[in-house]
Structures are given as C-alpha cells and as structure tokens.
Amino acid sequence: MAVAPAYDYLLKLLLAGDAKTGKTCLLIRFTEDVFHSIYISTIGIDFKVRTIEVDEKRVKLQIWDTDGQERFREISQAYYRGAMGAIFVYDITNEDSFKVVDQMLSVFKEENPHAVGMVVGNKCDLENARAVSSEQGQSFAGERGCLFIETSAKDDVNVEKMVVDLVEAILSRREGGE
Ligand code: GTP
C-alpha cells in the first residue's frame, strides 16, 4: 500500500554569511524557537529540518548552516548544489559582515543562477550600535535581485517571516515555470 508523503515540497535552503552574524541562532530560533546566548562556533556543516505550511502546501525544509569561515569557498560548490534558496546573513552592527555578503552572493549566483537569494540584516535589536542602515540593505538586495529583511534571533523578530517569504518566492517561481 502506497503511503502518502508527509509533505508536498521538499526544499533545500542554505544559510551563509560571515562568522558570528547569528546564522546558527536564526536556525535554532526557526527550528526550535529558543535563543541561547552562547554557541560553540559551528564546526563544518550542519542542517536542521522543519515542515511548515505555506499557501496550503506542506513544505519540508532542509536548512544547511555553515561556519562562515575561510572554508566557505572550497565547500561552496558542493554546498550550493541543489539549493533552491539561500539566506545571506550580515550583522547590522558590523559593516564588514555586510561586505562579505556581496562576495558570497557572487559565488552563489555563479553556481546556482536559478535559486532565490535573500539578504538578511540580523541583530536588529542592537539599534544603538547600528552600522548598516535598512536602506543600504534594502537597496543592495534590490540591485542583486534578492529579497531583504531585518531580523533579531534574540528577540524573535521576523525569523519566521524570513523563511516564509523565501519559501513563497521559491514556490511562485516554480509555479511560474521560471
Ligand atoms: P559562526 O558559526 O561562527 O559562523 O557564527 P554564526 O553566524 O552561526 O553566529 P551565532 O549564531 O553563533 O551567533 C554569534 C553571536 O551573536 C552569539 O554570541 C549570539 O548570541 C549573538 N547573536 C545572534 N543573533 C543575535 C541577535 O539577533 N541579536 C543579538 N544581540 N545577538 C545575536
């Protein structure tokens, strides 16, 4: 007897960005809904799974996390393969982390031109220490054909929306046959 799968779509998403921008905290917040202030820096690659409902479809997400360090370039090819979407995280209090997104996006677009990219300014709870304005983030993302959002893994701001917006864009591209 055939068993119906527990989901309508299976999507592979990536989390990329400079070290310490909060990728692991965002992933944990999204998959487990908690925030821890101390994490052991990610070693290599890890992924987590969560099934969500978007537009009445059950979407099983496999979200891959990297350590954001020098190994990124070497592993990027294998890591990017088969990904339908990627989330590029920077820290709004750290301008250098914003510049890193630019480099990562270029590699990503080369490897995976049809995937949907999303630029994420994390740590928006640290408004007093802000170094990258929302307008800068928004216009950079727009120029690169990416979605944009600001989040706080700490205060649980826009974390769910970040993933849902990305999934909606991926599904609508698929349905549009792009
Ligand atoms: P690597 O694994 O080294 O690449 O780091 P990462 O990008 O996965 O960052 P991680 O999630 O480990 O978070 C780095 C630091 O930023 C930790 O001290 C977190 O507590 C802190 N952090 C993460 N998200 C937020 C946030 O939204 N607001 C604030 N204030 N701190 C955050």
Amino acid at site 67: D
- Site to probe by mutation for ligand 1, drawn from 25, 41, 154 as the one with most ligand atoms within 8 Å of Cβ, is 25
- Give the pLDDT of residue 148: 98
Residue of 73, 20, 19, 68 whose CA lies nearest to 44: 68
Q: Which residues line ligand 1 (CB under 6 A)?
A: 17, 19-25, 37, 39, 41-42, 67-68, 122-123, 125-126, 152-154
CATH fold of the domain at 9-176: Rossmann fold (3.40.50)
E-strand spans in 46-113? 46-54, 57-65, 85-91
Evaluated on CA atoms 126, 130, 131, 135, the torsion sign reads positive
Record the tokens describing residue 168, joined without a space: 């909606």
**Domain coordinates in residue numbering, the chain:** 9-176
Per-residue pLDDT of the chain (178 residues; tens, 9 = 90+): 566 678 999 999 999 899 899 998 999 999 886 666 555 555 556 678 899 999 899 999 988 887 655 455 555 566 667 889 999 999 999 999 999 999 888 888 887 888 999 999 999 999 999 999 999 999 999 999 999 999 999 999 999 999 999 999 999 987 765 5
CA 22 – ligand 1 centroid, Å: 3
- HEC profile of 133-161: CHHHHHHHHHHCCCEEEECECCCCECHHH
- Give the pLDDT of residue 108: 82
Residue of 161, 151, 144, 93 whose CA lies nearest to 122: 151
Residue of 68, 66, 85 whose CA lies nearest to 164: 85
Contact 80, 86 (CB under 8 A): yes
